[in-house]
């Protein structure tokens, strides 16, 4: 299982999914009215490291963070 | 890197950083202080921070700075910060001025674009995500199948 | 614009400027602090200033800053400033960060190139003009018949 | 008469000259071993205003300042 956490303004509780890659996650998010708007504009970290390759392989126990658009300062 | 609940004590922080670098033969020290402006009828801004990635982001900048003989500092608020208070301070110390002038600009701009911090307007005690002023981070779009950096 | 005999009291000056701007709804405040580095066996640097032209130079920059909605500050030392002390502080306050980041860079660079201040190394109590680190001002060469600006 | 003052590291006392323009001043400075090195690298102000035109007309009572290369900060 892979743990998914939604950061900042995405008001969705953490979930656990049985997925192998980010494409699977994207398919899951597309089906949720509250999540699909974040797909195109969010960055993704796996175990706190930003991932830039869509075919990145996920392993059981990984923690995936969804990072929506930022504005510090 | 320093995180504080609420508005920053600007003088305490900047004076301490200046004290910290003043024995190290740096010729230039630049501080950037961000203050919450009175606009759009807000009472305050509020900030969420994802600390693990903010920390690694900051450390990667510290390495860049060190390679130029420089040192960087940063403080940021968590939660509500009232109009007129400061939510963000950063600083660069370097032997010569050009490195400091260029680094503070690059650092502040990358901070705005990539530090994992989310901003909310606080209006009548309600927190509203400042979506239209926010920027997708480097790597955003990876869920749409875009290779990005 | 503030001129002081000897090294600058950095915290007093920067804290006062911050206090000065903190009621005026500026979102960004940047300070640049120049410190005398320990190098070339100097004990101190020493500065001569031609105040009338420094003042008009500074005022022309204040007008440029005002046109961008910004405000600039400057303090400089006259006479000897010991290694480790500060001889120069400048600052920019502006509503938004880009103006402040660009203005502090342009202001500090033009200060270096055109403010009528002459620097001397102080070595064994002797004052030696830092000619090789000095820059001919805009307009230099007019005595050789060169039209210059 | 025009008053000439030498600023900063030029260790020469103020002088008064009967001259009409900067060319006259340049000719005077060329003849002085301690002044000629500053001709090409100095800026000039008349009554505290920087002058950039070599044919600028000087009037009796004007105060001319010679400003050698600078290095503040």
Which domains are seen in chain D, by residue range?
2-67 (3.10.20.30)
Which residue's entry shows tokens 């480790």?
Answer: C84
| pLDDT tens digits, C89-109 | 999 999 999 999 999 999 999
Mean pLDDT over residues B27-36, rounded?
Answer: 98
Domain ranges of chain C: 2-131
Which residue's entry shows tokens 């990358």?
Answer: B110
Here the tokens at position B37 are 């402006």
CA-based angle C117:C120:C125, to the nearest 5? 140
A26–B146: do the CB atoms touch at under 8 Å?
no
E strand map for chain B: 2-5, 28-35, 44-49, 71-82, 86-94, 117-123, 126-129
Chain C: nearest CA to B25, how far in angstroms? Answer: 5
Contacts of C108 in chain B (CB under 8 A): 97, 101
B142–A65: do the CB atoms touch at under 8 Å?
no
The SS3 call for residue B49 is strand
CB D8 within 8 A of CB C53: no
Whole-angstrom Cα distance, residue D15 to residue C90? 36
pLDDT of residue A58: 96
B97–C112: do the CB atoms touch at under 8 Å?
yes
Per-residue tens of pLDDT for chain D, all 73 residues: 999 999 999 999 999 999 999 999 999 999 999 999 999 999 999 999 999 998 899 999 999 999 999 999 9
- Is residue B148 scored above 90 in pLDDT? no
Q: Is the dihedral of CA A31, A34, A37, A39 positive or negative?
A: negative
CB B54 within 8 A of CB B120: no
Whole-angstrom Cα distance, residue D13 to residue D4? 9
Contacts of A39 in chain B (CB under 8 A): 143-144
Chain B: nearest CA to C14, how far in angstroms? Answer: 8
Which one of D22, D49, D71 has the shortest CB-CB distance to C142?
A: D22
pLDDT of residue C148: 56
Residue A49 sits at φ, ψ, to 5 deg, of: -120, 130
Whole-angstrom Cα distance, residue C148 to residue C146? 6
Residue B49 sits at φ, ψ, to 5 deg, of: -130, 135
pLDDT of residue C147: 64
A71–B118: do the CB atoms touch at under 8 Å?
yes
Residues 25-64 of C with CB under 8 A from D: 34, 47-50, 52-53, 56
Which one of B38, B97, B105 has the shortest CB-CB distance to C25?
A: B38
Which one of B87, B116, B119 has the shortest CB-CB distance to A67?
A: B116
pTM for the whole thing?
Answer: 0.95
C105–B108: do the CB atoms touch at under 8 Å?
no
Give the list of residues 6+ apart from residue D36 with CB closer than 8 angstroms, or none: D29, D30
pLDDT of residue B145: 81
Would you call B149 an interface residue with chain A, using a CB distance cutoff of 8 Å? Answer: yes
C33–B37: do the CB atoms touch at under 8 Å?
no
What's chain C's average pLDDT?
96
**B107 → chain A, closest CA residue:** A73
Would you call B130 an interface residue with chain C, using a CB distance cutoff of 8 Å? Answer: no
Which one of D9, D23, D54 has the shortest CB-CB distance to C146?
A: D54
ipTM above 0.90, yes or no: yes
CB C142 within 8 A of CB D52: yes
Q: How far is CA C50 from CA A54, C18, D45, D67, in A?
A: 63, 28, 11, 9
Task: Identify the chains in contact with D, defined as 3+ C-beta pairs within 8 A.
Answer: C
Whole-angstrom Cα distance, residue C83 to residue C64? 33
pLDDT of residue C149: 53
Fold of B2-131: Aldehyde Oxidoreductase; domain 3 (3.90.1170)
Whole-angstrom Cα distance, residue C63 to residue C49? 22
Q: Give the number of other Cβ atoms within 10 Å of residue A28's Cβ.
A: 15
C118–D26: do the CB atoms touch at under 8 Å?
no
C147–D54: do the CB atoms touch at under 8 Å?
yes
| pLDDT tens digits, C23-40 | 899 999 999 999 999 999
């Amino acid at each position: 299982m892979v743990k998914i956490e939604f950061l900042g303004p995405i008001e969705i509780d953490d979930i656990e999914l049985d997925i192998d890659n980010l494409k699977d996650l994207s398919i899951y998010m597309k089906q949720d009215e509250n999540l699909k708007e974040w797909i195109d504009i969010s960055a993704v970290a796996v175990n706190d490291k930003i991932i830039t390759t869509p075919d990145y392989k996920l392993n059981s126990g990984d923690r995936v963070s969804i990072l929506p658009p930022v504005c510090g300062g | 890197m320093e995180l504080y609940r609420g508005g920053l004590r600007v003088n305490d922080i900047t004076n301490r950083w200046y004290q910290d670098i003043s024995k190290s033969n740096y010729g230039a020290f630049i501080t950037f202080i961000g203050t919450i402006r009175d606009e759009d009828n807000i009472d305050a801004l509020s900030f969420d921070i994802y600390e693990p990635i903010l920390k690694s982001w900051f450390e990667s900048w510290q390495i860049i700075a060190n390679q130029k003989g420089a040192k960087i500092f940063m403080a940021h608020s968590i939660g509500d910060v009232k109009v007129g208070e400061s939510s963000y301070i950063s600083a660069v110390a370097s032997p010569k001025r050009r490195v400091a002038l260029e680094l503070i600009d690059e650092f502040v701009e990358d901070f705005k674009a990539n530090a994992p911090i989310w901003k909310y307007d606080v209006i009548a005690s309600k927190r509203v995500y400042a979506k239209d002023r926010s920027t997708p981070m480097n790597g955003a779009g990876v869920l749409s199948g875009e290779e990005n950096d």
